[in-house]
């Protein structure tokens, strides 16, 4: 209830004790005609999903596992990657304000603190006639997990807001901050397009200016990460001086 008072975007909120994945819950609501801004939050997910078919570890009580329904107005499907970057900027800002940690964005939308991941974002768009019919923005934030709560195989790559800030973070406050940021940036995006969002993304990026290897569907690409292009794709300067535009893939530092 405290949550409902704060939230602007979540006009309809469903809080679940346990579900397979909040992505599936929101998809179902979307198909049944739920309005833009509908939010599903779960205490625990038994089948949390990550990008590229990976599982997303979602233990009870200590994280924010949630999905938000967005219904952009006649937005081309090709703009879906921009929505993904917008969500990353919003969550990054909310996390920095609420927990006081120095989070940065790894292209396209992983949030890192000290090189370790604290948040994963999965935006799934459903299209019709080349337009976005709706998008489901899935956000997983490792909030109050302690070191012992992180599985051994993730110890080197994952961390939490609690571990990084040394304090307990109020999840309702964090969710309210995330929704307020998304709502604000979404409005900016509607009025001014992607350019201002892209600039905010660049300012929070931990990818630009670094040498990276991107695992793409067409193979590995190595180079210096230079910029975002106007569509939100990553511009890399290859070793032979050629510029490469990367639309999707997994960034690793170095190479
Ligand atoms: C990633 O980094 O691979 C993306 C992880 C996205 C996890 C969130 S948790 C809430 C929502 N429900 C899911 O099943 N996945 C997303």
- What architecture (CATH level 2) is domain 2-204? 2-Layer Sandwich (3.30)
For residue 6, pLDDT over 70 is answered with no
Classified by CATH at the fold level, domain 211-253 comes out as SH3 type barrels. (2.30.30)
| Kind plus residue range of the DSSP H or E element containing 217 | none
Interatomic CA distance for residues 142 and 78, integer angstroms: 30
CA dist 212 → 11, 92, 232, 250 (Å): 40, 21, 17, 10
Does ligand 1 have an atom closer than 6 angstroms to the CB of 125?
no
Does ligand 1 have an atom closer than 6 angstroms to the CB of 65?
yes
Does ligand 1 have an atom closer than 6 angstroms to the CB of 57?
no
Which of 57, 88, 116, 120 most suits a substitution to test ligand 1, by most atoms within 8 Å of the C-beta? 120
CA dist 99 → 77, 95, 113, 168, 178 (Å): 34, 6, 12, 9, 12
Query: Residues comprising the binding site for biotin?
Result: 45, 49-51, 117
Interatomic CA distance for residues 167 and 141, integer angstroms: 15
pLDDT band at 41 (very low <50, low <70, confident <90, very high): very high
**What's the pTM value of the predicted model, to 2 decimals?**
0.94
CB 81 within 8 A of CB 247: yes
* pLDDT tens-place string over residues 191-216: 999 999 999 999 999 999 999 999 98
Q: From atom 9 of ligand 1, which residue's Cα is the shortest distance away?
A: 140
Per-domain residue ranges of the chain: 2-204, 211-253
């Amino acid at each position: 209830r405290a949550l409902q008072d704060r939230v602007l975007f979540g006009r309809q909120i469903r809080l679940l004790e346990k579900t397979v994945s909040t992505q599936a819950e929101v998809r179902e609501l979307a198909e049944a005609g739920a309005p833009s801004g509908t939010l599903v939050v779960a205490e625990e997910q038994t089948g949390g999903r990550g990008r590229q078919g990976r599982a997303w570890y979602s233990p009870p009580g200590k994280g924010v596992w949630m999905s938000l329904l967005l219904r952009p107005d006649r937005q081309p499907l090709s703009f879906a990657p921009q929505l993904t970057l917008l969500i990353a900027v919003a969550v990054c800002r909310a996390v920095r304000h609420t927990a006081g940690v120095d989070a940065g964005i790894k292209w396209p939308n992983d949030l890192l603190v000290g090189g370790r991941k604290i948040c994963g974002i999965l935006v799934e768009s459903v299209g019709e006639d080349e337009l976005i019919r709706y998008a489901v923005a899935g956000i997983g934030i490792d909030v109050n997990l302690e070191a012992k709560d992180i599985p051994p195989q993730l110890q080197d790559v994952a961390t939490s807001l609690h571990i990084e800030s040394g304090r307990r973070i109020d999840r309702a406050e964090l969710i309210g901050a995330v929704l307020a940021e998304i709502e604000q940036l979404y409005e900016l995006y509607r009025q001014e397009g992607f350019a201002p969002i892209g600039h905010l993304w660049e300012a929070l990026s931990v990818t630009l200016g670094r040498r990276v290897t991107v695992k793409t569907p067409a193979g590995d690409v190595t180079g210096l990460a230079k910029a975002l292009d106007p569509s939100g794709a990553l511009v890399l300067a290859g070793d032979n001086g050629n510029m490469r535009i990367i639309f999707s893939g997994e960034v690793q530092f170095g190479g």
